[in-house]
Amino acid sequence: MGRAPCCSKVGVNKGAWSAEEDNLLVKYIQTHGEGNWRSLPKKAGLRRCGKSCRLRWLNYLRPCIKRGNITADEEELIIRMHALLGNRWSIIAGRVPGRTDNEIKNHWNTKLSRKLASRGIDPKTHKFITTDSSNRAGDRFDQFQSEKQYYCSQRSQHLVSNVPKVVKVGRSTDLVIPHVHNLKADLKVQETENKSSSRSLPVESHNTNISMSSDECYNYTPADSAECASLISSSDSVEAKCDSRDLHDNGCHWNEKHDDFPEYDVFNFFDVSNAENEICCNDDYWVDEGSADQFVKQKQAPPQSGQWDKQIDVEGKDNLGYPCMNAHDLSDHANNDVTVMSWEAALWY
Partner DNA sequence: AAATACGTCAACCGCGCGAAG
Partner DNA sequence: TCTTCGCGCGGTTGACGTATT
Give me the residues that bind DNA (CB under 7 A), please: 1, 3-4, 6, 13-17, 35-39, 48-52, 54-56, 59-60, 87-91, 101-103, 105-107, 109-111, 195-197, 199-200
> Residue 301: is it exposed, middle or buried by C-beta count within 10 angstroms (0-12/13-18/19+)?
exposed
**Beta carbon of residue 205, minimum distance to DNA (angstroms, whole number):** 14
Looking at beta carbons only, is 6 or 72 nearer to DNA?
6
Phi, psi (5° rounding) for residue 317? -120, 155
Looking at beta carbons only, is 109 or 326 nearer to DNA?
109
Looking at beta carbons only, is 157 or 197 nearer to DNA?
197
Looking at beta carbons only, is 74 or 278 nearer to DNA?
74
**Beta carbon of residue 263, minimum distance to DNA (angstroms, whole number):** 19
Residues 6+ apart with CB under 8 A from 80: 151, 178, 180, 266, 269
Looking at beta carbons only, is 111 or 136 nearer to DNA?
111
**Beta carbon of residue 112, minimum distance to DNA (angstroms, whole number):** 10
| Calpha distance 224→341 (Å, rounded) | 10
| Calpha distance 222→5 (Å, rounded) | 44
Looking at beta carbons only, is 64 or 301 nearer to DNA?
64
**Beta carbon of residue 14, minimum distance to DNA (angstroms, whole number):** 4
**Beta carbon of residue 196, minimum distance to DNA (angstroms, whole number):** 4
**Beta carbon of residue 186, minimum distance to DNA (angstroms, whole number):** 10
Looking at beta carbons only, is 37 or 254 nearer to DNA?
37
The CA-atom distances, in angstroms, between 327 and each of 149, 222, 251, 309 are 34, 21, 11, 14
**Beta carbon of residue 70, minimum distance to DNA (angstroms, whole number):** 8
CB atoms within 10 A of CB 341: 28
**Beta carbon of residue 34, minimum distance to DNA (angstroms, whole number):** 7
**Beta carbon of residue 22, minimum distance to DNA (angstroms, whole number):** 8
Residues 6+ apart with CB under 8 A from 159: 152
Looking at beta carbons only, is 16 or 301 nearer to DNA?
16
Q: Specify whether the CB–CB gap between 61 and 25 falls below 8 A.
A: yes
Looking at beta carbons only, is 11 or 15 nearer to DNA?
15
> Residue 108: is it exposed, middle or buried by C-beta count within 10 angstroms (0-12/13-18/19+)?
buried
